[in-house]
Chain A
Amino acid sequence: SAVISQKPSRDICQRGTSLTIQCQVDSQVTMMFWYRQQPGQSLTLIATANQGSEATYESGFVIDKFPISRPNLTFSTLTVSNMSPEDSSIYLCSARGEANTEAFFGQGTRLTVV
Chain B
Amino acid sequence: AQRVTQPEKLLSVFKGAPVELKCNYSYSGSPELFWYVQYSRQRLQLLLRHISRESIKGFTADLNKGETSFHLKKPFAQEEDSAMYYCALSTGGFKTIFGAGTRLFVKA
Q: Which of A18-26, A37-45, A70-78 is near enough to bind chain B?
A: A37-45
Residues from chain B with Cβ under 8 Å of A14 in the complex: none
Asked if residues B44 and A105 are in contact (CB atoms below 8 Å), the reply is yes
A108 to B84, CA, bound (A): 15
A100 to B29, CA, bound (A): 13
Residues from chain B with Cβ under 8 Å of A108 in the complex: 43
Asked if residues B100 and A96 are in contact (CB atoms below 8 Å), the reply is no
Residues from chain B with Cβ under 8 Å of A107 in the complex: 43
**B32 lies within 8 A of chain A by Cβ:** yes
Chain B residues numbered 92-106 whose CB sits less than 8 Å from any CB in chain A: 93-101
A108 to B45, CA, bound (A): 13
**Least CB separation from A92: chain B residue:** B44
A105 to B34, CA, bound (A): 14
Interchain Cβ contacts within 8 Å, total number: 45
* Interface size range of chain A in the complex: 20 to 34
- Which of A42, A44, A48, A92 makes the CB contact (< 8 A) with B94? A48
Q: Within the complex, what minimum Cβ distance (angstroms) separates A54 from chain B?
A: 16
A41 to B48, CA, bound (A): 22
Given contacts A43-B44, A44-B98, 5 further A-B contacts (CB under 8 A): A41-B100, A42-B101, A99-B90, A102-B46, A108-B43
Contact surface of B with A, Cβ cutoff 8 Å: 32, 34, 36, 43-46, 49, 51, 86, 88, 90, 93-101
Interchain Cβ contacts under 8 Å between A and B, 22 examples = A35-B98, A41-B100, A42-B98, A42-B99, A42-B100, A42-B101, A43-B44, A45-B95, A48-B94, A96-B94, A96-B96, A100-B51, A100-B90, A100-B93, A103-B36, A103-B46, A103-B96, A105-B43, A105-B45, A106-B43, A107-B43, A108-B43
